[in-house]
Structure 1
Amino acid sequence: MDWKNAYRSLYYADAEIPDLDLDPDRTALLLIDIQNTYVERPAREDVPEAERADWDRWDPFHQRMRDVVLPTVTRLQAAFRSQGRDVLHARIACLTEDGRDRSLSQRRPGFNNLLLPKDEHASQIAPAVAPLPGEIVVTKTTDSALTGTNLRLVLHNMGIYHVVVAGIFTDQCVASTVRSLADESFDVVLIEDGCAAISRELHEHELTIINNIYCQVVSSDDVLDELGW
Structure 2
Amino acid sequence: MKKRLKNIKYYKKDDFMLDDKRIRIITGHYGSGKTEFAVNYAIKLAKANKKTAICDLDVVNPYFRSREKEEFLKDLGIRVVGSSIKGLASDVPAISGEILTPFQDDSFEAVFDVGGDPAGARALGRYHQYFKEDNYDMFFVINANRPETTEVEKTIDYLKSIEFQSRAKVTGIINNTHLLKSTTVEEVLRGQELCMKVSQELNIPIKYISCIEKVAKELPKDLEGEIFPIKMYMREEWMS
TM-score of Structure 1 vs Structure 2, range by shorter chain: 0.3 to 0.5
TM-score (norm 2): 0.37
- Between Structure 1 and Structure 2, the one with more helix by share is 1
TM-score (norm 1): 0.39
* Structure whose CA Rg is larger: 1
